[in-house]
Amino acid sequence: MGIHSERSRAVFLDRDGVINRTVVRDGRPYPPANVDALELLPGVAEALARLHDAGYRLVVVTNQPDIARGTQDRAVVDAMHAKLATALPIDDFRVCDHDDPDGCDCRKPKPGLLRQAAQAADIDLGASFMVGDRWRDIEAGRAAGCRTIFIDYDYNELRRHAPDVIVRSLAEAADWILREGKA
C-alpha cells in the first residue's frame, strides 16, 4: 500500500499592514524603515498559530519596491524576515524586489509569488487564501485562484475588485479562514 500525500493548503499573507504595522502618510501605507521599527500588529502571533495548527502553510508574499528604487537594502528586508521567522510560525517568505517599470511576473497584482510558492511546496491554490490590505494583494490572490480576504484600514486608494470578505484584522481573517476552509 502506498502512502497518499495530499497537496497542502496555504494562507498567503502580505507583510506590511497584515503582519506588521505600517507608517501611514497622506492616507497611504509605507513599510518600516528597519528592523527596530518592525512592530507586530495585535493578535498576529495568535492568529498565525491557529492557522498553522489547523494545517495551513503560512507564506509571506510581499512587494518591496524600495529595494529597486535604492531606498532600502535587501539585507534589511532579509533581517526583518529573519526576525519575523523567529517570532512566528511562517513557512516561507517570497519577496518581489522589483518596481512596476521592471515588468516582472512576481510583483503583485501579478500572481507570480503565489505560483512560485505553490510550485515549490505543492500547494493547492484553489484551497488556499490570500490576506492583504491593498488592492494589489486581492488581485494577486484572485489571479492565482485563491479566496481573498481584505483587511480594510480605509487607505486612500481604489479597490479594483471585491474580495471574498472584508475584515478589520488578521485575527478576524483567521476566524473566517478556519470557518470557510473546512473540507
Residues 6+ apart with CB under 8 A from 36: none
With cell 472584508, the residue in question is 166
Beta strands across the sheet bearing 129-132: 92-96, 57-63, 10-13, 129-132, 147-151, 165-167
Distance in angstroms (rounded) separating the CA atoms of residues 8 and 136: 24
Distance in angstroms (rounded) separating the CA atoms of residues 97 and 165: 28
Distance in angstroms (rounded) separating the CA atoms of residues 141 and 148: 6
**H/E segment holding residue 144:** helix 135-144
The single-letter DSSP state of residue 37 is G
Residue numbers annotated as active site: 14, 16
Residues 6+ apart with CB under 8 A from 110: 104, 140, 143
